[in-house]
Structure formats: structure tokens, C-alpha cells
Amino acid sequence: MSSCQIDMLPDKFYDKLEEGSIIVKRSPSFHFCREGLIVSGEDKPISSDLVILATGYKGDQKLKNIFRSSVFQEHLIPSPTSSVPLYRIGYGEGLASLPTTEIRCQWLVHLLEGNIKLPSIRVMENDTARWEIHMKQYGGKGFWRSCIGATIIWYNDQLCKDMNCNPRRKRGFLAEWFQPYGPTDYAGLTNQKH
């Protein structure tokens, strides 16, 4: 629980697998096309409305192995107990990581469109170092896995502020302090400004 390693599946997940509305494929490569997705080793495209790329465990090692240069690999992950130091998006998950992942994707789009001004390199390095210390402290003994379950609202607030969106998602002071946050609180995020 302390490292957010809880297996949860949506209702009727296995039923949907059996009926074919959810398709699980393992592949070393893929390509998007008009019809959906072309998975290596398949003869024809897979028609789909939604594609979820699940990298599995040790995603940091897979990211590291993208680079041929040992210098880049070492800078990405300097030690086995380090997290991937990607400013704002390289932090861990909480118990419900899908909404946070969506907000991260929106943040990345804003960044690539030039709508986010990054701080200095020193500020970003200090921020990632502070997160690494936090994750080591609260990741649990024996679990080197980044979990930000306890600080997820603060983390989402930072992403909202960077995108110039109002981080206060509730209506009213009491609701903001006492009602739990959930995925619906972040619906229409990019349409709301400070």
C-alpha cells in the first residue's frame, strides 16, 4: 500500500477480454494508422477507439535503453535507487494515476505548444531532487517505487498553475477544504483559467 502497488481492475474486465472489446497485445513495435493500430507481427490493422500503452515494470530502464550513449543513459538514471528526473512529469503515481496521467499529458501539450515557460535549469534540478527525497522517504521500506498518493492534490495544483488554469477545483471555501478531489474535478481543465 505504501508504494501504491495495488492491483485493481474495472468491472467486468475479464468479460470484456473474452468478448474481444478489450484486446491485449504484446509487441516490440507498433504504428498508428487511419484504421487504428498496426502491431508488428500482425497482418492487418487493429481497429480501436482507444490505445493504452502499458510499458510494464521498469519503465525507467526502458526509457534509459532508448539512448545508445552511455553518457545519456547515466544522466537519465544515475543510480539504481534514483528516479527518472523529468521535471513535472517524471514523478510517480498515486492510487488513481489515470487522472494525473491525463493532466500530465495536458501539461506536456501546453509545454510543446510554448504556453509554459520553464524555470531555470537549477530550479528544475532542485525540484526533481526534492521529489526524489520525498519519494524515498515516503515510498516505504523495501519498496523503491515512486508513489505520490499523499501529495497528489498538491502535485496536480502545480501542473494547473503551470498551465495557467485555476488549481482550486471546488465551489466554495468549505468544499475546497473538506470534500475529496476526484477525476471529475479536473474535467474541462484547459477551458478554465485563473
Range of the domain at 19: 1-54
> What whole-number percentage of the chain has pLDDT above 70?
71
| 114 and 43 in a common domain | no
Domain contains 32: yes
**Regions of the chain short of the pLDDT cut 70:** 1-8, 55-60, 78-85, 90-98, 135-150, 190-194
| 93 and 42 in a common domain | no
Residue 150: predicted pLDDT: 59
Q: How many domains does the chain have?
A: 2
| 105 and 46 in a common domain | no
| 106 and 162 in a common domain | yes
Domain contains 135: yes
Domain contains 112: yes
Residue 191: predicted pLDDT: 53
Domain contains 46: yes
Residue 58: predicted pLDDT: 67
Domain contains 105: yes
Query: Which is nearest to 163 in space by CA: 109, 122, 125?
Result: 109
Strand partners, 36: 33, 47
CB 156 within 8 Å of CB 18: no
Distance, in Å, from the CA atom of 86 to the CA atom of 47, rounded to the nearest integer, reads 33
| 104 and 157 in a common domain | yes
| 95 and 163 in a common domain | yes
Domain contains 29: yes
| 151 and 110 in a common domain | yes
Domain contains 160: yes
Domain contains 194: no
CB 137 within 8 Å of CB 146: no
Write phi, then psi, for 65 (nearest 5 degrees). Answer: -75, -5
Distance, in Å, from the CA atom of 180 to the CA atom of 143, rounded to the nearest integer, reads 27
Write phi, then psi, for 163 (nearest 5 degrees). Answer: -85, 5
Residue 194: predicted pLDDT: 46
Q: Considering the entire predicted model, what is its pTM?
A: 0.60
Distance, in Å, from the CA atom of 54 to the CA atom of 75, rounded to the nearest integer, reads 24
> Which contiguous run of DSSP H or E holds residue 144?
none
